């Protein structure tokens, strides 16, 4: 598993420990998760990736956190080439929704990587992720929830559910040669406010920035795509944002 020291990688490893032999490939071995075999593999060092991927049956290729698109594409293509040269049995790649057909903006690096994996001819599974719910969980302040989303839906999913789905794909059968569009249950900020018993108020965008851009995408309906793939791979419904907040409140009350 590449990028194994990141948040998603650690969650996947926690779900694989009792199900398979795991090798964590990390840039800095000092930051590797405990309890698994560790190999050094740096997206900017192709030779290290070839050595790290040697003998791997199924590789979970977790997307690089690099923000520069050109550099990210270079890193991903180096990893795909290293997997081919090392004779990896199958590649499972954490892609992004829309990457199968769109090659601009957020999807550009993912699209290029998917195309390289397909061209390489090795067995594969593509896991197209939505945005993480973890980044969108609303904060209750003054007895209310606010947002600038216009009451439109979000198809986000929690990182923990996406990690479990990846573990199921890595250890299960029937997933090779498939591309999954992972989406969580559609939710809105007003619905979440109602579910936890607080009021909702729409507010103007705070100004230029990532969250302002994302809110505009939500208002335009760009995050309302739905697919049954995540629930099918999990074997259960994905967790909702409302359920997450209610669980937090229960834990707070018990504490």
Superfamily name and number for 1-129:
NAD(P)-binding Rossmann-like Domain (3.40.50.720)
Read off the pLDDT of residues 107-125 as tens digits, 9 standing for 90 and up. Answer: 999 999 999 999 999 999 9
Read off the pLDDT of residues 125-162 as tens digits, 9 standing for 90 and up. Answer: 999 999 999 999 999 999 999 999 999 999 999 999 99
Query: Alpha-carbon torsion 60, 100, 137, 196, what sign?
Result: negative
What's the mean per-residue pLDDT of the chain? Answer: 95
The ranges assigned to domains in the chain are 1-129
pLDDT > 70 fraction of the chain, expressed in percent and rounded = 98
Q: How far apart are CA 246 and CA 252, in angstroms?
A: 10
Pair 107, 98: CB distance under 8 Å: yes
The model's pTM is 0.95
Read off the pLDDT of residues 191-246 as tens digits, 9 standing for 90 and up. Answer: 999 999 999 999 998 778 888 999 999 999 999 999 999 999 999 999 999 999 99
- How is residue 107 written in tokens? 């999807």
């Amino acid at each position: 598993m590449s990028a194994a020291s990141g948040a998603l990688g650690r969650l996947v490893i926690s779900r694989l420990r009792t199900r398979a032999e795991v090798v964590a490939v990390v840039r800095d071995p000092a930051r590797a998760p405990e309890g698994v075999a560790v190999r050094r593999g740096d997206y900017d060092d192709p030779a290290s990736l070839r050595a790290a991927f040697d003998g791997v049956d199924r590789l979970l290729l977790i997307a690089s956190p690099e923000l520069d698109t050109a550099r990210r594409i270079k890193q991903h293509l180096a990893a795909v080439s290293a997997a081919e040269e090392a004779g990896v049995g199958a590649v499972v790649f954490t892609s992004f929704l829309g990457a199968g057909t769109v090659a601009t903006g957020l999807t550009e690096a993912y699209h290029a990587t998917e195309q390289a994996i397909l061209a390489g001819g090795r067995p594969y599974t593509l896991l197209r992720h939505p945005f993480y719910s973890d980044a969108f969980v609303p904060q209750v302040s003054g007895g209310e929830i606010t947002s600038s989303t216009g009451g439109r839906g979000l198809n986000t999913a929690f990182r923990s559910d996406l990690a479990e789905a990846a573990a199921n794909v890595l250890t299960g059968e029937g997933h090779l040669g498939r591309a999954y569009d992972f989406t969580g249950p559609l939710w809105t900020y007003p619905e979440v406010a109602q579910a936890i018993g607080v009021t909702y108020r729409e507010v103007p965008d705070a100004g230029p920035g990532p969250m302002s851009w994302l809110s505009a995408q939500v208002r335009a309906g760009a995050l309302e795509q739905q697919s049954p793939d995540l629930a099918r791979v999990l074997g259960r419904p994905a967790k909702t944002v409302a359920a997450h907040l209610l669980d937090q409140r229960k834990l707070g009350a018990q504490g």
